Amino acid sequence: MTMMSVAESVKENCTVEWLEWHRSSGRTFVEHHRQEGCRVEVRDGYASVTFADGGGLWKKVDARGFRWYEPGRKRPANKVN
């Protein structure tokens, strides 16, 4: 998958999904996360996500397992297909 052409943009009220990888006792496992009502700001290939509760995270736009959906859309906004 290729990274979309990203211009600076801000999207409100998005649903965001991402993965967190953990390692414990020699085993690697993944945690799936999903937040709704997020603000996504894209700049220079990175997305700054602000959750409705004020928390947030930074992710590379093309990071494995990271996607966001604009309101009313079924396809991820950051994936090209």
* Mean pLDDT along residues 18-29: 92
The domain segmentation of the chain, as residue ranges, is 9-69
Q: Which residue has the higher pLDDT, 6 or 21?
A: 21
Q: What are the strands of the beta sheet with 27-43, ordered from one edge?
A: 56-60, 46-50, 27-43, 9-24, 67-69
pLDDT at res. 56: 95
What is the percent of the chain where pLDDT is above 90? Answer: 68
Q: Please state, rounded to an integer, the average pLDDT across all residues of the chain.
A: 87
Q: Tens digit of pLDDT for each residue in 48-58?
A: 999 999 999 99
- pTM higher than 0.85: no
pLDDT at res. 47: 93
